[in-house]
Structures are given as structure tokens and as C-alpha cells.
Amino acid sequence: MKTQVPGAVMDRRQFLFTAAAGVAALHMGGMFMSASAQAAEAISLPALPYADNALEPVISAKTIGFHYGKHHAAYVANVNKLVAGTDLAQMTLEEMVKTTFGDKDKVGVFNNAAQVWNHTFYWKSMKPGGGGAPGGDLLAKINADLGGFDKFKEDFSQAALTQFGSGWAWLALVDGKLKVMKTPNAETPLAMAAKPLITIDVWEHAYYLDWQNRRADYIAAWLDKLVNWDFAAQNLKG
């Protein structure tokens, strides 16, 4: 009996050691798994093109913190989860958006992928010290297609203001002509055979901390101080 007790103790120690090694192995496996999942992630969150306080006072660092750091980041995480292990994971973000648009079985992928694309485009649509009027070919085309810059501002503001609920307003190129558009939720001209030139996010999360219910004031300040016409001109050429 006495010899059996130490034996039992040894067995138990052995068991504990084995169990511990197993847990360690699982941890290692987990680390390797998450490392390879990381590498295989289809979509990444692009860096902001400026500091988080660069758009103040129109858009505060606090808004950017939530909007970029939480909302945009969550769309990236969601789309990666949704496409992991599917053919969609091999696509570029643009292909993902175009392929899933209007597909009832892929609504979740479309919403998250389009929101990733729209937000990246929105950050570029603004710059510190932006605003004013465009020049060159873009202004000439706005004059020719949209009845002048003042008329464009009026129409763009109206589109942004009257987008009921969440969504976006856009300046886009459609069949070679400039057009002011508005889209609900995640919808994007990118999926509609149009070429976006500029966008403003009018989801409440884009302005509520800074402007509360005053969407019209956010839009006016955005056009006066933030809109990045260099980016729009680049998109018109490219």
C-alpha cells in the first residue's frame, strides 16, 4: 500500500505536468493560429492621413477617436470575420464591395466592406486648411455639368442634409458627367458604376459629439474649412 501512494503521487504529478504542457501547447497553438489569421486578414485599417486633432474645430479629436478608432476599425474587424475562409477573402476591398452589392446573402459583407471603403475615402476627402473652391479642370467641369460652384454647393449641401437617417453625400462622375448623389447607410457610388470624387459622412456618429442635431452647420463648416479639392481633382484625373 505504501509503495502505491508515492506511485499515485508521481502519477498525479506526471498528469499535472502533462496537463500543463498541454495547456502551454494550446497557448502556443493559439498564438500561431492568431498570428496566421492576422497574416491572412483580407482587409486592414489604413492610417489616418493626419493627426486626430488636425480637423479641429470642425471635427474634434474625440469624434475622430470614436469614428476612426471604433467605428471604422469595427467595420474592418467585421468584414475580416465575415470573409475569413471564403473566396471573398482573396478579393480587393473594391472587388468585395462591387461583388456583394445587391446580393441578399452577402448583406453583412457588403455593409461592412462598403463602410470600410467609404470611410477611407471620407478621411481623404478632408484636409486641415481645406475648403474654398476647386480650380482648373475640376472647376471647369463643375461649371459645365452642375451649373457653377455655388449651385454645386447648394445641391451638395441639400443632398447631405436631406439624406434621411444615416448615409452619405457625394460628388461623383457618372457616364462622364459630374453628379451630386446621396446614398443611405453603407451604399456607395463605387458599387453603381460611378466614380466617386468626394464624400461627406452624414451618419450621426460623424458629427453628433461636435454639432449634436445641427447637421446643416456641420455640412456648411465641412465645405468651408475641410473639403479636400486636391483629392477630388486627383480622382477626376485618375
Judged by the rule CB under 5 A, the positions of this chain that interact with Mn ion are 201, 203, 206
For residues 75 and 54, what is the distance between their CA atoms, to the nearest angstrom?
23
Which residue's Cβ has the minimum distance to Mn ion? 201
C-alpha distance across the termini of the chain, in Å: 86
Q: By C-beta, is 187 or 201 nearer to Mn ion? A: 201
Give burial (CB, 10 Å; 0-12/13-18/19+) of 128.
Answer: middle
Q: H/E element holding 58?
A: none
Quote the least distance from Cβ 206 to Mn ion, whole Å. 5
Helix, strand or coil, per DSSP, at residue 48: coil
Beta carbon of residue 183, minimum distance to Mn ion (angstroms, whole number): 13
Specify whether the CB–CB gap between 227 and 142 falls below 8 A: no
148 vs 184 by CB, closer to Mn ion: 184
Nearest approach in angstroms of CB 203 to Mn ion is 4
In the complex with Mn ion, the residue whose CB is nearer, 201 or 210, is 201
Of 79 and 236, nearer to Mn ion (C-beta) is 79
Min separation Cβ 72 and Mn ion, Å? 7
